[in-house]
Amino acid sequence: MCTVVVSVAPGAEWPVVFLGLRDESADRPWDPPAAWWPELGDRVEGLHDREAGGAWLATATGPARASVVLNRREQPPVPEGGWRTRG
């Protein structure tokens, strides 16, 4: 199960803190946070999944954004055209 904890404290030295844990595939290879996607410039940084090429946790600056992909229990219907990879 993936877990994400977000702390928002506007007056703190670190006003927003993310803690992400992906424990269902602990041995899946990944790279540390960086700007892995040149087509997005250096404003998007995230963990880089070496198998799929994407990220399950990423942030962007100007404007500030964060994105997290978590597991789900129910089986959603397959979208028209099929699924797209996070990579």
Tens-place pLDDT, residues 17-34? 888 777 667 788 889 989
pTM above 0.85, yes or no: no
**Which whole-number Å values give the CA distances from 49 to 7, 19, 34, 58, 79, in the listed order?**
25, 17, 12, 11, 24
The pLDDT tens digits along the chain (87 residues) read 677 888 889 999 999 888 877 766 778 888 998 999 899 889 999 988 888 887 878 889 888 888 887 766 677 788 898 887 665
Where along the chain do its domains lie?
Answer: 2-68
> Residues 52, 67, 20, 56: what is their CA dihedral angle, to the nearest 10 degrees?
-10
Task: Give the angle 49-85-1 at the CA atoms, nearest 5°.
Answer: 60
Predicted local confidence at residue 86, as pLDDT: 63
Instruction: Return the SS3 of 39.
Output: helix
